[in-house]
């Protein structure tokens, strides 16, 4: 499997691989030796779509090359690009054997067995047939505990909700990820326990709007994310709980208190804001500036040691140089600990793609680069401010390029944030292993990354 895109796609991929493994398929690392390649695509923005198309083309080329040698290889395309552009993919890429959407993931073992001419014994469940097998964008939740993990064993992504009901004018996600729906309480707890039992010490909560969890269940359940965090925190083996993809609403006082007071909850919130000026936010159909500023300062005031991650869109239609400078100024003053920026991408079917005042691509790219360049110094200063502190570091592995062990503190999310280089200052042989939690003292920095010595 080639799994691209966000952690939600990672979970989809892990569940699909778990289904295949349970039905007799072997999962292997070498694409050349595989009987089938599943390309689990991303369809979020133009760069992600291009990366997905490149991966499909690479798999198709491998298939064509091996067919010349008499070996049959199958290419299955899943993920958001498949859900969003199924017919186009099937028409333009005849080498692809099946294009499969979310609703039909449960039938993947049957589909693959059918393609390879083997009997799997998997139930068909009335699934679609033909090359294009795409149904609703809002299928019911499936059990996600029995996964074939793509992440290291010591951390895992835990999906708590799916879909989105917001109408941001730049975003196509509601069209292919469906309506917002919270996963019920019991399956979340069961999955969290199963992940902890297989070694996950860190659970990263994911959804389109993580902090909205439970609001659609209030009438029948009455519990929200604050109560869920409390329940997850007492699961044996869970040491860190991280909130990713929060929306700048839904932060109730009980939720803020839970983040501040529960030791296992990382003092880290990922909250994509997209812009800060009122005119841009209005065009984006996002919450207004005053609401956002009040929330940001409230979070910092109420949650000691909080690290905030955000992302902004540069060059949104109608964005003036003055609006861009206003955003730059706000970021200089507020000093987000983590910040990413994206050049605006016109997405099919979104209102913003039809706006008449599109910003030139070169200007979009320039403004993105200016935001990122400015943030580099802020991130360096944040790293330097942590020198001298003792912290817990989870060991992610050994990096042969740097001849060093690397890990993260609770203020760094997997894959997207800086890392910690860990050394033994005694020159001894205190063995490090992936997944360990070790006490370290931060002794220096390397740009945004930290350098730390073992304490215990």
177 and 31 in a common domain: no
190 and 231 in a common domain: yes
Contact 229, 259 (CB under 8 A): yes
> Could you tell me if residue 289 is inside a domain?
yes
CA–CA separation, 269 vs 291, rounded Å? 17
Instruction: Indicate if the pLDDT at residue 123 is higher than 90.
Output: no
Instruction: Indicate if the pLDDT at residue 64 is higher than 90.
Output: no
Which of 379, 261, 389, 370 lies closest to 326, judged by CA? 370
168 and 270 in a common domain: yes
110 and 82 in a common domain: yes
> Could you tell me if residue 141 is inside a domain?
no
**Boundary residue ending a domain (347, 379, 411):** 379
336 and 200 in a common domain: yes
* Residues present in the chain in total: 456
416 and 344 in a common domain: no
Instruction: Indicate if the pLDDT at residue 122 is higher than 70.
Output: no
β-strand partners of 408: 394
* 419-445 tens-digit pLDDT: 999 998 776 656 789 999 999 999 999
435 and 328 in a common domain: no
Residue 314 is encoded by which pair of tokens? 């540069």
CA–CA separation, 62 vs 54, rounded Å? 12
Maximum CA extent, the chain: 66
- If one compares 242 and 249, the residue with the highest pLDDT of the two is 242
* 290-311 tens-digit pLDDT: 999 999 999 999 999 999 999 9
**Boundary residue ending a domain (102, 133, 164):** 133
Instruction: Indicate if the pLDDT at residue 127 is higher than 80.
Output: no
The position carrying tokens 């944030």 is 417
> Could you tell me if residue 449 is inside a domain?
yes
303 and 169 in a common domain: yes
- Percent of the chain whose predicted confidence (pLDDT) is above 90: 82
Instruction: Indicate if the pLDDT at residue 126 is higher than 60.
Output: no
Distances (CA, A) of 261 to 84, 255, 304, 390: 41, 10, 10, 20
pLDDT recorded at residue 184: 95
- If one compares 67 and 6, the residue with the highest pLDDT of the two is 6
Which of 53, 54, 74, 52 lies closest to 63, judged by CA? 74
CATH of the domain at 443: 2.40.50.140
* 182-196 tens-digit pLDDT: 999 999 999 999 999
CA–CA separation, 190 vs 171, rounded Å? 32
**Boundary residue ending a domain (319, 351, 379):** 379
When divided into structural domains, the chain yields a total of 3
User: What would you report as the CA-atom Rg of the chain, rounded to the nearest whole angstrom?
Assistant: 23
201 and 336 in a common domain: yes
CA–CA separation, 385 vs 394, rounded Å? 20
Instruction: Indicate if the pLDDT at residue 70 is higher than 90.
Output: no
318 and 191 in a common domain: yes
Q: What are phi and psi of 280, to 5 degrees?
A: -65, -45
pLDDT recorded at residue 406: 96
Q: Which residue segment(s) compose the domain that 402 sits in?
A: 390-454
Q: Mean per-residue pLDDT for 241-253?
A: 95
pTM of the model: 0.93
> Could you tell me if residue 143 is inside a domain?
no
């Amino acid at each position: 499997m080639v799994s691209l895109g966000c952690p939600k796609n990672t979970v989809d991929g892990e569940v699909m691989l778990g289904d295949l493994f349970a039905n007799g398929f072997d999962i292997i690392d070498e694409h050349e030796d595989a009987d089938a390649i599943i390309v689990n695509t991303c369809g979020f923005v133009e760069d992600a779509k291009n990366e997905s198309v490149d991966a499909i083309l690479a798999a198709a080329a491998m298939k064509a090359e091996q067919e010349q040698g008499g070996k049959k290889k199958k290419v299955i395309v899943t993920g958001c690009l498949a859900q969003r552009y199924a017919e186009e993919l099937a028409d333009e890429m005849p080498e692809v054997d099946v294009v499969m959407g979310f609703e039909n993931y449960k039938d993947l073992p049957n589909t693959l067995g059918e393609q390879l001419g083997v009997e799997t014994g998997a139930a068909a469940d009335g699934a679609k047939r033909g090359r294009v097998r795409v149904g609703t964008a809002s299928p019911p939740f499936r059990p996600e505990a029995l996964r074939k993990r793509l992440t290291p064993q010591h951390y895992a992504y835990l999906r708590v909700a799916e879909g989105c009901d917001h109408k941001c004018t730049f975003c196509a996600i509601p069209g292919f990820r469906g309506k917002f729906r919270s996963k019920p309480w019991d399956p979340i707890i069961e999955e969290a326990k199963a992940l902890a039992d297989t070694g996950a010490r860190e659970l990263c909560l994911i959804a389109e709007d993580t902090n909205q969890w439970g609001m659609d269940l209030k009438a029948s359940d009455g519990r929200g994310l604050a109560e869920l965090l409390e329940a997850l925190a007492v699961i044996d083996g869970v040491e860190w709980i991280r909130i990713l993809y929060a929306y700048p609403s839904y932060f109730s006082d009980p939720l803020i208190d839970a983040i501040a007071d529960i030791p296992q909850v990382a003092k880290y919130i990922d909250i994509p804001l997209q812009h800060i000026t009122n005119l841009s936010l209005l065009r984006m159909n996002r919450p207004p500036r005053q609401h956002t500023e009040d929330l940001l300062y409230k979070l910092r005031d109420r949650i000691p040691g909080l690290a905030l991650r955000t992302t902004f869109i540069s060059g949104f239609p109608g964005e003036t140089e003055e609006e861009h400078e206003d955003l730059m100024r706000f970021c200089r003053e507020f000093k987000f600990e983590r910040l990413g920026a994206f050049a605006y991408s016109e997405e099919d079917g979104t209102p913003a793609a039809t706006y008449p005042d599109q910003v030139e691509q070169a200007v979009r790219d320039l403004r993105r680069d200016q935001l990122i360049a400015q943030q580099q110094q802020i991130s360096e200063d944040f790293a330097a401010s942590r020198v001298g502190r003792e912290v817990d570091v989870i060991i992610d592995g050994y990096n042969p390029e740097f001849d060093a062990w690397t890990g993260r503190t609770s203020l760094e999310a997997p894959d997207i944030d800086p890392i910690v280089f860990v050394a033994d200052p005694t020159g001894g042989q205190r063995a490090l292993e992936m997944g360990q939690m070790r006490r370290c003292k931060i002794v220096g920095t390397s740009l945004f990354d930290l350098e730390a010595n073992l304490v215990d």
